[in-house]
């Protein structure tokens, strides 16, 4: 994961100075860089998008905020036969592991990952046929600035693709544990999440549901031929969770319950909740209710009871850099 300006000592919001722990984002990244990322897009759906985007002509790709390389690896086989991939991430640990994964897959000669930051990419202008990112822009203060940097290193006529979610959707998706809960309980969850989400924005740490707004950012970055597509994948959970994909999802449920998290860890959620306008004295009770929900879900998975179709909203927004010979 890359933040546009790296971790800072503190951020001032509404007159209050909030500390940003040095290990805050790396820990978040570790939680969400697991094998479940390999199942966010169906391979046949990506082949369809590759046809629409003419990816078979791409010879050079840059993956910004590359993490362990999941997204870039999903696209690499859809490019020209000898296409190369460069990846950049601000976390040296993820860079090292991404290079190890590429080597293990026999792709060390085609893939190279390096440390870099999203708003100062270590590449010359007009370097790549495809510049892409996945779940990066939801973690930066100024996604338009990052997009402009992605455009800078793209060749004239090159494709820019950002895969970003609307993370609010999970609040209205039912599973067999939540379906019977009261309207008031569900509204409390939504209110709590939206408060934290707005706090994250206020602290300059990104918008968790940015995916809906990406086309405007693409337009403002000067891109043309803008399109938006949805992943056709959902997070199906059906006991006994026998598939590799469902086993990876089950591990997330169990980990959240074991670590008393509800998406975020407590310290992170409290910062966001208060920065988003929530009352400090109300946080503990609200948080305990959210953790109880995660605990029940984890127990239901452990006992083989939780079932859901698990709807998601994950976009792939694409646009092209104007060709140098094109007219406005």
- Are 39 and 127 contained in the same domain? yes
The whole-angstrom separation of Cα 65 and Cα 33 is 12
- Are 2 and 73 contained in the same domain? yes
pLDDT range class, residue 305, cuts 50, 70, 90: very high
| 287 located within any domain | yes
How many domains is the chain built from?
A: 2
Contacts of 102 (CB under 8 A, 6+ apart): 69, 73, 108, 110, 111, 112, 113
- Are 6 and 144 contained in the same domain? yes
| 48 located within any domain | yes
- Are 182 and 155 contained in the same domain? no
Average pLDDT over residues 81-96: 95
Contacts of 180 (CB under 8 A, 6+ apart): none
**C-beta atoms surrounding 216 within 10 Å:** 11
- Are 271 and 219 contained in the same domain? no
Q: Domain of residue 257: give its range.
A: 167-205+236-307
- Are 99 and 187 contained in the same domain? no
| 289 located within any domain | yes
pLDDT digits (tens, 9 = 90+) for 115-169: 999 999 999 999 999 999 999 999 999 999 999 999 999 999 999 999 999 999 9
Candidates 264, 166, 263; CA nearest to 207 is: 166
- Are 150 and 261 contained in the same domain? no
What's residue 7's pLDDT? 35
- Are 221 and 241 contained in the same domain? no
What's residue 36's pLDDT? 85
| 61 located within any domain | yes
| 87 located within any domain | yes
| 328 located within any domain | no
Residues paired with residue 136 on neighbouring β-strands, in sequence order: none
The whole-angstrom separation of Cα 187 and Cα 205 is 25
Contacts of 278 (CB under 8 A, 6+ apart): 192, 195, 196, 199, 286
206, two tokens: 């990104």
- Are 131 and 185 contained in the same domain? no
- Are 106 and 68 contained in the same domain? yes
What's residue 204's pLDDT? 95
Q: Which residue has the tokens 């310290």?
A: 267
CB 168 within 8 A of CB 200: no
pLDDT range class, residue 317, cuts 50, 70, 90: very high
């Amino acid at each position: 994961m890359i933040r546009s300006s790296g971790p800072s000592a503190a951020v001032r919001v509404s007159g209050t100075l909030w500390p940003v722990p040095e290990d805050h984002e790396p820990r978040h990244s570790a939680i969400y860089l697991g094998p479940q990322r390999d199942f966010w897009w169906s391979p046949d759906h990506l082949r369809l998008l590759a046809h629409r985007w003419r990816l078979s002509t791409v010879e050079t790709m840059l993956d910004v905020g590359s993490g362990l390389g999941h997204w870039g690896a999903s696209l690499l086989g859809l490019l020209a036969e000898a296409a190369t991939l460069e990846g950049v991430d601000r976390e040296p640990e993820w860079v090292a592991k991404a290079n190890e994964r590429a080597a293990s897959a026999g792709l060390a000669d085609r893939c190279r990952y390096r440390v870099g930051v999203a708003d100062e990419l270590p590449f010359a202008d007009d370097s790549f046929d495809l510049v892409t990112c996945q779940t990066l822009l939801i973690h930066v203060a100024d996604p338009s600035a990052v997009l402009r940097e992605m455009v800078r290193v793209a060749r004239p006529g090159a494709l820019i693709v950002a895969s970003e979610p609307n993370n609010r959707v999970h609040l209205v998706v039912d599973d067999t544990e939540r379906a019977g809960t009261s309207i008031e309980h569900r509204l409390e969850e939504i209110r709590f999440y939206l408060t934290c989400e707005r706090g994250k924005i206020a602290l300059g740490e990104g918008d968790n549901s940015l995916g809906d707004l990406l086309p405007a950012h693409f337009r403002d970055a000067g891109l043309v031929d803008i399109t938006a597509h949805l992943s056709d994948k959902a997070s199906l959970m059906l006991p006994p969770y026998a598939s590799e994909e469902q086993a990876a999802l089950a591990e997330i449920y169990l980990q959240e319950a074991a670590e008393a998290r509800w998406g975020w860890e407590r310290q992170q959620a409290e910062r966001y909740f208060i920065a988003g306008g929530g009352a400090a004295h109300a946080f503990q009770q609200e948080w305990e209710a959210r953790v109880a929900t995660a605990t029940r879900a984890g127990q239901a998975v452990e006992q083989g009871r939780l079932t859901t179709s698990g709807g998601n909203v994950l976009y792939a927004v694409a646009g092209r850099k104007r060709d140098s010979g094109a007219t406005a």
